[in-house]
Amino acid sequence: ILNVEQSPQSLHVQEGDSTNFTCSFPSSNFYALHWYRWETAKSPEALFVMTLNGDEKKKGRISATLNTKEGYSYLYIKGSQPEDSATYLCASDTGRRALTFGSGTRLQVQP
Amino acid sequence: GAGVSQSPSNKVTEKGKDVELRCDPISGHTALYWYRQSLGQGLEFLIYFQGNSAPDKSGLPSDRFSAERTGGSVSTLTIQRTQQEDSAVYLCASSSKQGSYNSPLHFGNGTRLTVT
């Protein structure tokens, strides 16, 4: 994998559903993997910065896992709420330049 | 405390005009980034400043784009002879990255540029 890829592109779920998205990134020259939430009309907000293989981070109902050997990270949202509606971005840091962002997963949670 | 500040928040300009976009990073942050998001696209890297090192300009799409960072703080992104394809949201971010890769980016609210 040469670029940062995210799937799915968009997701519609009902309030209370749990969901997850995938971020694939180059596993060579890995330094860190970032997750951001970008709500409409706001600026992207950092959720997690992960550096260690096997790392798991949690923030309320949101958690993330990291596999640096195979180059993927999962973001999980448990019991989705309408306020979780946003675009979720991941970004790879290879230590050589600025972060490379994926195109994001747009989540819409229906009440 | 104060976050990353960008100005103007919106800019409408005529094709062929020059524009300047300003970014005030968080005080003490050594790294400053410019990205842009065109309609329906992801975040596109433009330029990266880290401390006193030479900036990474590899993302600038053409020689009409330039950026500077004065005194290690405020940055200005200049677009000369604007074209319609320059229309996008231009985002600035800063981080305290200095040998540590745990530092998240702090984004400004962006400048929405519309070239008519």
Does residue A89 belong to the interface with chain B, where contact is any CB pair within 8 Å? yes
Chain A / chain B CB contacts < 8 angstroms: 57
Q: Which pLDDT belongs to residue B71?
A: 81
**Average pLDDT of the segment spanning B31-46:** 89
**Average pLDDT of the segment spanning A66-76:** 96
Q: Which pLDDT belongs to residue A29?
A: 84
Best of A99, A100, A106 to disrupt the B interface (most B CBs within 10 Å) is A99
Type and span of the H or E element at A13? strand A10-14
Tell me the shortest Cα–Cα distance from B26 to chain A, in angstroms: 14
Q: Which pLDDT belongs to residue B57?
A: 93
Token pair recorded at residue B93? 């971010």
Q: Is-cis flag, bond preceding B8, omega within 30?
A: yes
Share of chain B above pLDDT 90, in %: 76
| DSSP β-bridge partners for residue A91 | A34, A101
Of A42, A51, A97, nearest to B58 by CB-CB distance is A97
Which tens digit of pLDDT belongs to each residue from B57-72? 999 999 999 999 988 7
pLDDT classification of B53: cutoffs 50, 70, 90: confident
Exposed, middle or buried, B80 (CB in 10 Å: 0-12/13-18/19+)?
Answer: middle
Q: At residue A82, what are phi and psi to the nearest 5 degrees? A: -55, -35
Of B33, B56, B105, nearest to A46 by CB-CB distance is B105
d(CA A90, CA A12): 19
pLDDT classification of B103: cutoffs 50, 70, 90: confident
Residue A99 neighbours by CB under 8 Å, 6+ apart: A34, A91, A92, A93, B33, B45, B105
**Minimal Cα distance from B32: which residue of A?**
A98
pLDDT classification of B99: cutoffs 50, 70, 90: low
Helices (H), A5-107: none
- Strands A10-14 and B88-95, by their bridges, are unpaired
Cβ-Cβ contacts under 8 Å, B103 against chain A:
49
Cβ-Cβ contacts under 8 Å, B106 against chain A:
46
